[in-house]
Structure 1
Amino acid sequence: MNGKFIVVEGLEGAGKSSVIGLIVKHLQEARIAVEQTREPGGTPMAEAIRECVKHDWDETVAEETELLLMYAARVQLLTNRILPALNAGQWVVGDRHDLSSQAYQGGGRGVSADTMTAISKIALNGFKPNLTLYLDVEPAIGLERARGRGELDRIEQAGLAFFERTRERYLSLAAQDDSIVVINAMQAMEDVHKDVITAVQEYLS
């Protein structure tokens, strides 16, 4: 594969959308063919799964159900869009990938590490991004920003303690993986964007 896979991660309200737009523009200006994806979603079937995951069901959604739906959507996206694009020499900029499940379902929901590892291995067979930018924000700040966008979905309503566990897992995993760069998303947006471009430029060079 000649293409590269860059992923932007973070809690709700971290500013992923603006950062993704910035990266895509930067790569295009460098004459790099780029495709943009999001998780869960990105294909017709994966988008249907996204709606299923985020819907506020009038029943208990088991942690394992949520986890399996996330990976089902991820495999669809990987098979139908990410791998074909990378094999064609395109770069892909993704809004979330496997690290989200490791943090949200593994950290936030408390799904065991053995279960997370087993499902990830089956679904992804060792595939991982070339570069991940984790936009770090305190959960209380991120959730306040998210509320400003409108009504919260089922996962966004999980509560502050859930997001604190999720953030803790994000930071723990980032400390163990050199391909994950932590960006302070609590600074001014201008400074966030500056740090993001620096990280992308360092990877390009």
Structure 2
Amino acid sequence: MTGIFIAFEGGDSVGKSTQVERLAGWLSSRGIAHVVTRQPGGTPVGAELRRLVLDHSSGDVSARAEALMYAADKAQHVYELIGPALERGEVVISDRYVDSMIAYQGAGRALDIDEVSTIAWWAVGQLRPHLTILLDADPTDAVETIAEKDRLEDAGIDLHRRARHFFLDLAAADPHRYLVLDARLTREELAATIATRVAEQLAPR
């Protein structure tokens, strides 16, 4: 695959979608072909899985069933969207990827992290991002401010704290593949720092 895969990670309401949009605009201004997506979702199968895992109407979904639905979403995502775009040599920008599944369904739901990690990476055929941008914020300052929470956002602050710590642990273990940014910086500051790092990623190609 000749493309570049960039994933945005972090807690809910930290500004990932805004920065995804800004990075896409930066790439467009330079004539760089790219694909933007989000997980769960992004494909017809993924859209239905998103409804099942996030809508309160789904009822009491077990932690294991939830994890498997997230894994299915990612498997379809790589098969239908991410893989082909990378084969075409494009930049793929994804709002969440495997790290989120392990952070929330593993650390957050208190399932065995090694088991969830094995399932998640198997689902995507071991396809890892070239760069993961982690926007970090205290969930008390982010998730708790969401007025209408989906099923995962409404799962309790402790879950979100465990997920946050896991994200930071992942980044600390592989600092060359992660860009960790304080989500409290201005949108402009974040966008400029991200663009600089992505430009470095693109330069060798």
Equivalent residue runs for 1:132-147 within 5 Å: 132-147=132-147
In 2, the alpha carbon distance for the partners of 1:144 and 1:194 equals 27
Structure 2: runs of 5+ lacking an equivalent: none
In 2, the alpha carbon distance for the partners of 1:171 and 1:125 equals 24
Equivalent residue runs for 1:1-205 within 5 Å: 1-57=1-57, 59-147=59-147, 151-177=148-174, 178-205=176-203
Q: Is this contact kept in 1: 2:39–2:73, CA < 8 A?
A: yes
Shift of 1:59: 4.1
TM-score (norm 1): 0.93
TM-score (norm 2): 0.93
Q: Is this contact kept in 1: 2:98–2:121, CA < 8 A?
A: no
Q: CA RMSD in A?
A: 1.4
In 1, the alpha carbon distance for the partners of 2:143 and 2:177 equals 27
Shift of 1:126: 1.5
Runs of 4+ in 1 over 4 A off after TM superposition: none
In 1, the alpha carbon distance for the partners of 2:145 and 2:20 equals 17
3-state SS in 2 of match to 1:192: helix
Deviations 1:72-117 (A, max 9, x none): 0111111011111111111111111001011111111111122123
Instruction: Letter of the 1:29 partner, please give it.
Output: S
Shift of 1:26: 1.2
Deviations 1:53-81 (A, max 9, x none): 11114742211111000010111111011
Shift in alpha-carbon separation, 1:118–1:58, aligned structure 2, 3 A: closer
Task: Determine what percentage of the aligned residue pairs are the same residue.
Answer: 35
Report the count of equivalent residues: 202
Deviations 1:152-202 (A, max 9, x none): 100010111111101000000111122111011012222222222222223
Q: Is this contact kept in 1: 2:55–2:151, CA < 8 A?
A: yes
Instruction: Letter of the 2:188 partner, please give it.
Output: E
Q: Is this contact kept in 2: 1:13–1:141, CA < 8 A?
A: no
Q: Is this contact kept in 2: 1:8–1:132, CA < 8 A?
A: yes
